[in-house]
Amino acid sequence: MKINSPLEAYKYLPQTNCGECGEATCMAFASKLIDRSGKTTDCSPLIKEKKFAKKLAELDRLLAPEIKEVEVGVGERAVKIGGDDVLYRHKLTFFNKTKMFFDVTDTMEEAALVERVKNIANFKKFYVGRHLLLDGVAIRSVSNDPAKFAAAVKKVAEVGIPMIFCSFNPEVLKAGLEAAKDANPLLYAANKDNWKEIGELALEYNVPVVVSAVNDLDALKTLAKTFAEAGIKNIVLDPGTCPTGKGMKESFSNFLKIRRAGIMGDTEIAYPIMALPFTAWMAGISDPVSASYWETAMAAVFTIRYGDIMILHSMEPYATIPEVHMAETIYTDPRTPVAVDSKMYKVGNPTADSPVLFTTNFALTYYTVESDLSSNGIDCWLLAVNTDGIGVEASVAGGQLTADKVKDAFDKSGFDLKKDVTHNTVITPGLAARLQGDLEDKLSANILVGPMDSGRLPGFMEKNWPPKK
């Protein structure tokens, strides 16, 4: 039986509040164990004292995710897949968002290969305070030539991002492994014909491996069980991804069955699942834009329903941007609003004469306001008030945004309206207009009520700034 609350985890801790884990209390450390920001190895007494050995073993078992967590690649760009505990995000959260690998082939011209790999590695999309990235490269052996495949692997490995080696030929995969030793690639794939040879490679090189059985869950489970009994721990499942018609419905159903069985305790099939949206390009769609559209639609479907890692083809912005946005949205932790640090931010190059504004620390609100200011060349000071990551209108109504909270934010930021600016004026969001009187009293400052929408700030500034003395 899994544990999902700090109180349950606390029972297995030393309960000494020694602080060696970096937390003030064992209960605080228990909270970190539940949200996976801490590990049992961080608790020195639990690890070092023999009297806690049984509790440690039991706690590790109870904290282990239902779905096996598998790591692909090495270094800073290494990715983790799987590791989930629930079928529905609202019951806890989803961990390790869907990883997206884009394909290259070993028959590409060297210059084209290098350019595509660099485009994959350098992709970056700013979104609500963070950069969304693509995760790796899937190298497909079209030539079935070990030497050509090894040459392609060497070129990709130079970029230093995670790789998937795609071939059913064990000799080809072995050549790739020799060309990129210690890169920890994912092998794709072992099936009913080559499972013995691929399994031996996975054991010899200690790398994760995909087991594949298209639309045959019994065979897939048998392969996974055989590999696990042979000592292969890092397994990924490929039940097949049909791009159209009844076949796609079967694929979708198979993903649901596998994940439900794993979450419900069937350890023999509790592994990450691979989706292959790039099969849209094999569905007989002649128009590249239509094929790319369908690939993106498939990616969305299997991101929502348990695809832990996928191989895609189209690098067009109209394909990649929806794909990475979807994964980011589905894997946002519903327990924690997305928030920025509560502090004073500089927008542009503000001076003592520049305006001072405040908003909440809800990331979407903050970055919308910041973007509207910076894109219009408005140099200013922007204070993010800690409202527990709630937007302006809701936090005013709920009491998270008050005059006291705003004053406290100014005090903690070290910003003095009397000394750091010449005008002693603060612009409040229009949705917080009712706080004007309280703010004047608490801050001893002039309060201007801004527009309801930050998109109207440029026009507001033209009419109201600098303030009248």
Tokens read off for 309: 């890692």
Annotated binding residue 365: yes
CA distance 159 to 368: 34
Helices H / strands E in the chain, number of each: 17, 17
Annotated binding residue 43: yes
Annotated binding residue 389: yes
Annotated binding residue 391: yes
204 contacts: CB under 8 Å, gap ≥ 6: none
Annotated binding residue 454: yes
Q: Where are the alpha helices (DSSP H) in 345-400?
A: 363-374, 392-398
| Rounded alpha-carbon distances, angstroms, from residue 459 to 425, 426, 464 | 18, 17, 9
Annotated binding residue 359: yes
Tokens read off for 281: 């390009």
Nearest to 311 by CA among 191, 204, 212, 181: 212
Annotated binding residue 117: no
Per-residue DSSP letters for 59-121?
HHHHHS-SSPEEEES-GGG-EEEE----SSGGGS---SPPEEEEEEETTS-HHHHHHHHHHHH
b/e map of 253-283 (b: 16 or more CB within 10 Å)?
A: ebbeebbebbbeeeeebbbbbbbbbbbbbeb
Length of the chain: 469
Q: Environment class of residue 287 by beta-carbon count within 10 Å: exposed (0-12), middle (13-18) or buried (19+)?
A: exposed
Tokens read off for 28: 């605080």
CA distance 189 to 309: 14
Place of tokens 């490995």: 157
Cα angle, residue 441 at apex, residues 440 and 445 outer, rounded to 5° = 40
Tokens read off for 60: 């590790």
The β-bridge relationship of strands 69-72 and 79-82 is antiparallel
Q: Which residues are annotated as a binding site for 5-methoxybenzimidazolylcob(I)amide?
A: 359, 365, 389-392, 454
Q: Which residues are annotated as a binding site?
A: 18, 21, 26, 43, 359, 365, 389-392, 454
Q: Which residues are annotated as a binding site for [4Fe-4S] cluster?
A: 18, 21, 26, 43
